[in-house]
């Protein structure tokens, strides 16, 4: 299984809502990532988890809260988002951190619209 599965595929939420994005992989990867991508722009790194611990937070606002409950799952909890947070949110995973010659496997993304 070389898939990274993201749910939901599409999400529309109001600015007062709380929602969560989910990501799952069963490749035994111990590094997992969240990226944000605006239209016609490259993916921007948000968070990196290494062995289920948060390793990198790229100065992301606190209205985005990541969680890694186990080595296969990665969540992104959303609260009080702004319309400018509307974007494609991509999850990725790769082999153990420190193995820098490892490709990242991406999910198909969640298209988030904040209204």
Partner 1 sequence: SQQGEEDPQALSIQEGENATMNCSYKTSINNLQWYRQNSGRGLVHLILIRSNEREKHSGRLRVTLDTSKKSSSLLITASRAADTASYFCATVSGGFKTIFGAGTRLFVKA
Can you give the binding site for partner 1, defined by CB under 8 A? Answer: 4, 31, 33, 37, 39-45, 48, 50, 55-56, 58, 88, 90, 92, 94, 97-109, 111
Q: Which is nearer to partner 1, 16 or 100 (by Cβ)?
A: 100
Nearest distance from C-beta of residue 11 to partner 1, angstroms: 15
In the complex with partner 1, the residue whose CB is nearer, 42 or 83, is 42
Output the CA torsion sign for 59, 68, 5, 76: negative
Question: In whole angstroms, how close is the CB of 111 to partner 1 at the nearest point?
Answer: 8
The residue (of 71 and 105) whose beta carbon lies closer to partner 1 is 105
Contact 87, 42 (CB under 8 A): no
Q: How far apart are CA 36 and CA 2, in angstroms?
A: 22
Q: How far is the CB of 65 from partner 1 (least distance, A)?
A: 21
Task: Tell me if residue 84 falls in helix, strand or coil.
Answer: helix
Separation CA 11–CA 16 (nearest Å)? 14
């Amino acid at each position: 299984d070389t898939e990274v599965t993201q749910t939901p595929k599409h999400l529309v939420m109001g600015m007062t809502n709380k929602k969560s994005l989910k990501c799952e992989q069963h490749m035994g990867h111990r590094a997992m990532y969240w990226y944000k991508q605006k239209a016609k722009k490259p993916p921007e790194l948000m968070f990196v988890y290494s062995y289920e611990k948060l390793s990198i937070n790229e100065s992301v606002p606190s209205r985005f809260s990541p969680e890694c409950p186990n080595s296969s799952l990665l969540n992104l909890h959303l609260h009080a988002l702004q319309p400018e947070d509307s974007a494609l949110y991509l999850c990725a995973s790769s082999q153990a951190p420190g193995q820098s010659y490892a490709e990242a496997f991406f999910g198909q993304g969640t298209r988030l619209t904040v209204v």
